[in-house]
Structure 1
């Protein structure tokens, strides 16, 4: 029976699962049945008393109460998780039920030795009612039910047939047919349970396979991202050095070459960053840090950074809703900014003429006081049948040739993931030829006292001044050490580089006191840059640290975050690195470093 009903599972795999479910259902019903069973036997005792069995009836009732109670206590005790195997529980339950059936049938046969009266019909009704009531606690376990019903039903049928009348034979035949119908019902109930358990187990396995596939994808992205970022990082430092040498020498051709290399690196870095972001969101490595956010102020800052991009594309960027005051929400500012940046970047990318708008307003259409942020465009629009697909990974409307200048198709996939993390509603309205409108809705909060909550830094800090600074750089890749040393030396920094923790400690012990520490996360021989950073701190090095890594594995990312140092992901542009170093030098405490901040780019992204 099990193999026929199973869905993709063998009978051997399915049987213990079905038996465990049967035990669970039987135990649930058994907890409720002690009193009803005793009352049913009390009625049988009353019938026996009425037909003249006054001596045996009380003794029989006492025996039934003891048997019911002992069965109830015993089966509940061994029904606790881990006590006995489900198959053992079902076998012992069937045996106990058979004992009760023998005791019941003995009284039935004794009652039928008395002259027929209306009490025999009452007994038949009680016994058949008990047979119907026994269906639920056996939970489709056919052997248990057949054992009980065949004994009790058989006694009833024998009792009526023994009367030797046509009426008795007719009642016996009807009872036999009814007991057969009930038996088939229990069989069908068991088959249905098998199918449900099989389907549930198949779905669970599919879910497990999907989770494992997602984990494998995350690990692949992490490994691929790390390996690709290593050579790009060295190339980015060399490109920055080329541009600095071009500036010093006044060589315009060399400057154009440097700019071309940096543009290509910026595009490659953007694609890698989008893969990193999806990997982190899927792995649950991003944690939201809520704060009060002035929505209009945030939109104003974002519009300022995107206006040059829109103008360069021949578009007008409109920031509407400036008259709305007091539009505050409580959310993670960096992640909300990221959502809006992705939506706005997509709108500009796919709109060829006209305008792109971003606005915010109060919205109470659903009966709740909300803030709605709307990003709209005059682009080609999205057909209704494709609107759900645009939120999928790597999906792009109208880009079958996979033009990399249009990104990887991860922007809206990231929007959906972050929106889910922040519990923000995202809606898309679009018609072909009529542009697209994306709306974000989130609960509105009262403006905080003073209304002076500040936005996050926008990445516009200047590079360090001309004063000569010291930097200690730890990386196990010789090419990266050489290229970064050349860049920083060209810019006037005093640089020392080390390949591992021991070499870095020796440099520090020799008297080199760095102003900034630059540390790669993954060093050779499975060593961690975090360990090197902590060791230098123990030796009295007070310099702020920047962790430069191509690592995207969630647990390692979490470890870097918990260390409390700023994290930069490879490939790091030379100008970006200098800005980060400048912020580290100018900070009065430990630089802020969390995944929400790491997701936010200082420049508008391109996905």
Structure 2
């Protein structure tokens, strides 16, 4: 699946890379086309040139108007205005010259500027000619003045003869000034009127002749000027035509360039559109192809995911089966181990030889090893399933370390190994953590140190690290043992890993100690490290969060057993009639009166003649659970209950004792329990004169299907009681087998689980190992279970075995109506 995921990721990356490459290629090409498109933006310069040209033409027309005005008014101020306007046109020509790149255009602009300069000169000459045309009018006015002077002579001035003297030609101005001077110089000072008249007439005649000559000469000049004016007008016309040709050529060039630029733009735009369309089509095809590929891979991924989910469910079932197996095997191993340990203790107290004592020591060692293995398997199973929860209580770490180390050292007292403890005084204060788990961790680590050290020293140091926040407690266990190589240090904390060169020849271990220790340290929020060198020893260092207790730890007085006195009466409630009958027989053998009820609803509520000293109830019952029973008793609903102690019985190992005590139970007995365990909880074990132990036989008649060893530990040599118990067990098994069949046919998980739970206690007491694992699976079947085909094989196997078991019980009880042991 990992490889498939990698391939799918690679395909996605490749698809995106192709799309990116395509986008880069298309973008670069479009960019080049846009660059070409923008390059045609030289039309902006053409537009500016065209705008300047149009502005220039408008200014030229305005200059033409100013030229006409100057010629009409013949005023010098109007001509100066015209000349200034022409100079503005020179600046426009310079700007157009800067926008032009062709040599021909520059030549034309230079010609245009020369023509404008020539036009200015021609206009000025023409204006002066028109001004000279006023000389005749001045002469005519002077002649009229002569007519008036005949009657009255006085001082005559040139301005009086010609008011516009300044605007006349220099020659006319000089003639008029001479006439005025002549007239003034010939006026008689004191003459009679006749003399004055004769003299004035003479003067006037001379002046008239002089002015007429000037007029005639002026007429000749006017004719010449008229001819010159026609020449100048023709020149101006040619100038205007030439200017029009130049401007038309200029506009044509601009227009052609503009059309060419437009064509280039359209061509570049069409190419860009074609490229963009092609890129979009190609991108769409790439997307479609990769969508198809990725969809195909997605369906494969879904298929693999479904297979993985199926495998995961199967794995979960296997893990649960492994957990149940470990639990079952642990229980089935622990029960005979307890028996072996008990018989070993009895043998030690008897008179035996030294050789027999050695045999017993070996048995005790092997039994202890097996007990530790079972406990470690259970702890490992709980840690692996993350079902173990740490407790947080106050305890003295220094005392715990000292007790644990000295206990292990005592077991190795005959070896040449010294133990040294260095515990910081600060740790004399109580801390808050899980003392049980820390003791288990230290026992594993210190035990390993002794196991792998032939001779030398083991040092246990504990100190506080207060430079960090939160504070830490550091515990190191160093030894001078065989050490661990670098390669092995990488895997030494794995499950079932062992050092290959340890010294224990008869006790090889099983490789769970360090793995469980590390998992427990991690559960407590700490860390475990290792430093080791082959031949020099090892140092295990663990660090745990440190929280000091609020108060000094007080001495805790152990709660003694109930310490009830015989004779006793015990109210017992259990839905398993066979187990109920077993308890009754066992208690009667100890002169204890059992009051038995298979259903709590049958217990009378009124304060009738029902007296008892203790209540013993099962927890998981179909009608009224043990928790409901203790609740109703404590609420005072039953008049015969006078606050007697209540004990719980259960086959569940996942519920802690605190769960039961918090509900009102005094303590809890874990099924299966022995007679001595029950009596010890009742506090009357020391009152029993002698506990009779029997060697556990294979079974009643040696057929191997069931074992009566535990029954014998309860009932002793009472063969009749065992026979009756087996009869009850056979009857209940027939009923329970029918309940299992009905529940399976109806596919009722609840009924199936209830029937299996009811059967398990007696099957465990009789050690029917072939059926117990299947019943435990059925007991824990989920309420919404729907895969009935998976359990059909085990279900059929269970029924075949039950038929065989019932047949065997029928034969044995028929052959042995009276049990004689």
Higher mean C-alpha deviation, range 174-183 or range 283-292: 174-183
Tell me what 2:441 maps to: 339
Q: Report SS of the residue matched to 1:374.
A: strand
Matched, 1:415 2:517: yes
Distance 1:497 1:296, change over 3 A: same
Q: How does 1:272-283 map to 2 (within 5 A)?
A: 272-283=374-385
Following the alignment from structure 1 to structure 2, what is the Cα–Cα distance between the partners of residues 266 and 504?
Answer: 44
Provide the aligned C-alpha RMSD in A.
6.0
Tell me what 1:171 maps to: 272
Matched, 1:378 2:501: no
In the TM superposition, residue 361 of structure 1 has moved relative to its aligned partner by 0.7
Q: Report SS of the residue matched to 1:303.
A: helix
In the TM superposition, residue 372 of structure 1 has moved relative to its aligned partner by 0.9
Tell me what 1:107 maps to: none
Following the alignment from structure 1 to structure 2, what is the Cα–Cα distance between the partners of residues 463 and 258?
Answer: 31
Distance 1:365 1:484, change over 3 A: farther
Q: Report SS of the residue matched to 1:311.
A: coil
- CA-to-partner distance for each residue in 1:258-288, whole Å, 9 max, x for gaps? 8776655443332222222222233343322
Distance 1:357 1:363, change over 3 A: same
Following the alignment from structure 2 to structure 1, what is the Cα–Cα distance between the partners of residues 626 and 342?
Answer: 24
In the TM superposition, residue 577 of structure 1 has moved relative to its aligned partner by 7.2
Distance 1:284 1:369, change over 3 A: closer
Higher mean C-alpha deviation, range 529-538 or range 289-298: 529-538
In the TM superposition, residue 332 of structure 1 has moved relative to its aligned partner by 2.5
Question: Which of 443, 446, 451 pairs up with 2:545?
Answer: 443
Q: Report SS of the residue matched to 1:358.
A: strand
Distance 1:293 1:220, change over 3 A: same
Following the alignment from structure 2 to structure 1, what is the Cα–Cα distance between the partners of residues 279 and 592?
Answer: 94
Contact 2:432–2:547 at 8 Å: present in 1 too? yes
Q: Report SS of the residue matched to 2:445.
A: helix
Contact 1:320–1:358 at 8 Å: present in 2 too? yes
Question: Which of 283, 293, 318 pairs up with 1:216?
Answer: 318
- CA-to-partner distance for each residue in 1:140-182, whole Å, 9 max, x for gaps? xxxxxxxxxxxxxxxxxxxxx9999432333124323543575
Contact 2:525–2:545 at 8 Å: present in 1 too? no
Tell me what 1:352 maps to: 454
In the TM superposition, residue 573 of structure 1 has moved relative to its aligned partner by 8.6
Following the alignment from structure 2 to structure 1, what is the Cα–Cα distance between the partners of residues 581 and 324?
Answer: 20
Distance 1:480 1:276, change over 3 A: farther
Matched, 1:425 2:527: yes
Distance 1:377 1:568, change over 3 A: farther
Contact 1:462–1:579 at 8 Å: present in 2 too? no
Q: How does 1:111-150 map to 2 (within 5 A)?
A: none
Q: How does 1:25-104 map to 2 (within 5 A)?
A: none
Following the alignment from structure 2 to structure 1, what is the Cα–Cα distance between the partners of residues 6 and 268?
Answer: 52
In the TM superposition, residue 471 of structure 1 has moved relative to its aligned partner by 8.7
Tell me what 2:647 maps to: 545
Contact 2:474–2:544 at 8 Å: present in 1 too? yes
Contact 2:569–2:614 at 8 Å: present in 1 too? yes
In the TM superposition, residue 438 of structure 1 has moved relative to its aligned partner by 2.2
Following the alignment from structure 1 to structure 2, what is the Cα–Cα distance between the partners of residues 531 and 260?
Answer: 48
Tell me what 1:105 maps to: none
Larger Rg: 2
Distance 1:231 1:183, change over 3 A: closer
Contact 1:8–1:202 at 8 Å: present in 2 too? no
Distance 1:416 1:273, change over 3 A: same
Following the alignment from structure 1 to structure 2, what is the Cα–Cα distance between the partners of residues 476 and 324?
Answer: 57
- CA-to-partner distance for each residue in 1:364-410, whole Å, 9 max, x for gaps? 5666532112223222222233334333222223289x999444322
